[in-house]
Amino acid sequence: MGRSGPQNLAKRQLWNYINCTMALLSLLLRPAHCQQCRIQRCNAEYVASTSPSSGLQEDSLSDVDYCIALRAYALCTRRTARSCRGDLVYHSAVFRIKELFSQQNCSSDGPTSSAKATSTSRPAVSELCDYESRVLALGPAGQGKKYAHCGLFGDPHLRTFRDEFQTCKVEGAWPLIDNRYLSVQVTNVPVVLGSSATATSKITVIFKSYHGCTEQKVYQATTEDLPSAFQDGTRSGGEGGSLWIVEKGGSGGRLVKIQARYIGTSIIVRRVGRYLTFAIRMPEDTLDFSEENSGLQLCLHGCPRNELIKEHMLGRQPLHPRLPGSGSNPELGPLLPPHQTYTVERATAKCRETLQVEDVYFQSCVFDLLTTGDPEFSMAAYGALEDLKALPPSKLKQNSPRTPRVQLNRGGPHILATATPSLVTFLLLVLLLL
């Protein structure tokens, strides 16, 4: 009986010790079990801060701004390290950050936010309404996503989403794109009396309503007016700047850039001389290439056969007859007094003033001068080539960084690139998780 008191005291002390230990363990383990891994938020913030809002090459980030964004990315991943210890996407991000610090020659020490005021032309985009952020969140499944490019310019010349290059007549109104996200229609008018040459005088783009990101918006450009706003007078639409317009100027003619971040789409409309050019880049997974369901869409399937003009047969005489004299006809567009008569030699010399490489864009420039006699058409091919450089058909930048280059094939120019060594990355990730 005399020992029961000390024994009970020892039991109570042991029980209290166990309770304290369990409470301490629960506090230590709670973040790992209850705190959600937020690596996707870090990824989305990094993509939003490094993706040029206009999509044009001259708008890319400076080295200082990029290093600031990269350090902010690294800081975000460190803050979520404990809750993401077993997450493969997290370890992939950590490894990629180390690579980028080395490749971009950025120091890990320094500011993680810019002192400059946030530009009103580059609004923040939520992950929901940012296609690239949604794809990045897929991890390895998003690495195969690609963009497709379509362009229409000059007499007119068409580069389809399939990288086919065609020259067509297509007078009147024609649909370039018509899917569940947007519709694009162009109107082409004759350029010279007595010639089959046509050029684009009107472009209408309809962005269809996309739940949670934007309401329907309509943009329309004509030869008389290249507005920097939608038809309702606004320059943006939807949540978090998911759709907006910016105006630019340059040697290739005045242009308007429309960025639809929620569907990963960029559009450039240029006014070159008295006519318009069009270029678009869209993710391939937003396009329906099947002949049965997509209807007549020039960007998808090219021009109808009866509208095609045969390959550029460059002779010493103009390819299409033209009637001399001047005139103005509302049915034919803004015709000017007598155009020049170009030989192949003169047209080639004129195109070399702006285009140094004799590719399909150079050939289109020569073709247009021969068929129209209008020297301003030489700038249409130059502007289209600049748009191709700004909106190249390629994989998503953050998933497969590389420098595209143009190569001529039978169907037209294609973008070639070297892929990143994904196998080495995978093996390193396995070692990190062991």
* CATH code of the domain in which 271 resides: 3.40.1000.10
The answer to whether the bond into 404 is cis (omega within 30° of 0) is: no
Determine if residue 54 is left, alpha or beta; phi over 0 gives left, psi from -120 to 50 gives alpha, anything else beta. Answer: alpha
Window from 34-43, 85-94, 317-326, 399-408 with minimum mean pLDDT: 399-408
- Tokens encoding 187: 């109107």
pLDDT-based confidence at residue 316 (cuts at 50, 70, 90): very low
Asked if residue 4 belongs to a domain, the reply is no
The 3-state secondary structure of 121-172 reads CCCCCCCCCCHHHHHHCCHHHHCCCEEEEEEEECCCEEECCCCCEEEECCCE
pLDDT-based confidence at residue 48 (cuts at 50, 70, 90): confident
Highest mean pLDDT among 21-25, 42-46, 241-245, 405-409: 241-245
Angle at alpha carbon of residue 308, lines to 190 and 301, rounded to 5°: 115
Task: Give the residue ranges of DSSP H helices in 248-402.
Answer: 291-294, 298-301, 344-352, 360-372, 378-390
Asked if residue 34 belongs to a domain, the reply is no
CA distance 163 to 16: 74
Identity of the residue numbered 291: E
Residue carrying the six token digits 């869209």: 282
Same domain? For 131 and 165 the reply is no
Same domain? For 130 and 163 the reply is no
Nearest to 159 by CA among 363, 418, 377, 344: 363
CA distance 175 to 295: 10
Highest mean pLDDT among 104-113, 175-184, 185-194, 334-343: 175-184
pTM for this predicted structure: 0.61
Same domain? For 229 and 105 the reply is no
Same domain? For 378 and 261 the reply is yes
Same domain? For 331 and 315 the reply is yes
pLDDT-based confidence at residue 160 (cuts at 50, 70, 90): very high
pLDDT one-digit tens code per residue, 202-259: 999 999 998 888 999 999 999 999 999 999 999 988 777 789 999 987 666 789 999 9
Same domain? For 168 and 139 the reply is no
> Quick one: pLDDT at residue 416?
26
Beta-bridge mates of residue 190: 198
Same domain? For 48 and 171 the reply is no
Window from 138-142, 149-153, 258-262 with minimum mean pLDDT: 138-142
> Quick one: pLDDT at residue 35?
57
CA distance 35 to 23: 18
CA 104 to chain centre: 22
Number of domains in the chain: 2
Judge whether residue 94 has pLDDT over 80.
Answer: yes
> Quick one: pLDDT at residue 30?
45
What percentage of the chain carries pLDDT values higher than 70?
67
Judge whether residue 311 has pLDDT over 70.
Answer: no
Same domain? For 88 and 167 the reply is no
276-290 burial code (b ≥16 CB/10 A, e <16):
bbbbbbbbeebbeee
User: How many Cα atoms are found within 13 Å in the side-chain-facing hemisphere of 19?
Assistant: 6
Asked if residue 280 belongs to a domain, the reply is yes
> Quick one: pLDDT at residue 291?
58
> Quick one: pLDDT at residue 219?
97
CA distance 84 to 77: 9
Q: Which residue has the higher pLDDT, 223 or 40?
A: 223
CA distance 71 to 78: 11
Nearest to 393 by CA among 127, 402, 206: 402
Same domain? For 87 and 191 the reply is no
Same domain? For 215 and 84 the reply is no
CA distance 177 to 154: 19
Same domain? For 355 and 327 the reply is yes
Nearest to 171 by CA among 151, 149, 195: 195
Highest mean pLDDT among 4-8, 334-338, 372-376: 372-376
Q: Which residue has the higher pLDDT, 162 or 419?
A: 162
- Where is 102: in which H helix or E strand? helix 88-103
Asked if residue 10 belongs to a domain, the reply is no
Judge whether residue 20 has pLDDT over 90.
Answer: no
> Mean pLDDT for the chain?
74
Highest mean pLDDT among 115-119, 278-282, 315-319: 278-282
Pairing of strands 275-283, 147-153: antiparallel
> Quick one: pLDDT at residue 246?
92
Beta-bridge mates of residue 271: 254, 276
Asked if residue 205 belongs to a domain, the reply is yes
Asked if residue 304 belongs to a domain, the reply is yes
Judge whether residue 302 has pLDDT over 50.
Answer: yes
Q: What is the mean pLDDT of residues 57-61?
A: 47
Residues 216 and 208 sit within 8 Å (Cβ to Cβ):
yes
Q: Tell me the C-alpha to C-alpha distance, in Å, between residue 208 and each of 134, 237, 269, 356.
A: 20, 11, 19, 40
Asked if residue 322 belongs to a domain, the reply is yes
pLDDT one-digit tens code per residue, 264-279: 999 999 999 889 999 9
Domain limits for position 225: 148-395+405-412
> Quick one: pLDDT at residue 38?
82
> Quick one: pLDDT at residue 254?
85
Q: Which residue has the higher pLDDT, 119 or 377?
A: 377
Q: Which residue has the higher pLDDT, 393 or 2?
A: 393
Highest mean pLDDT among 114-118, 405-409, 414-418: 114-118
Q: What is the mean pLDDT of residues 372-400?
A: 81
The Cβ of residue 55 has, within 10 Å, a number of other Cβ atoms equal to 21
Same domain? For 187 and 306 the reply is yes
Q: Tell me the C-alpha to C-alpha distance, in Å, between residue 323 and each of 172, 192, 198, 330.
A: 21, 8, 15, 17
Residues 157 and 76 sit within 8 Å (Cβ to Cβ):
no
Asked if residue 14 belongs to a domain, the reply is no
- Tokens encoding 109: 């020490």
> Quick one: pLDDT at residue 251?
64
Highest mean pLDDT among 82-86, 122-126, 176-180: 176-180
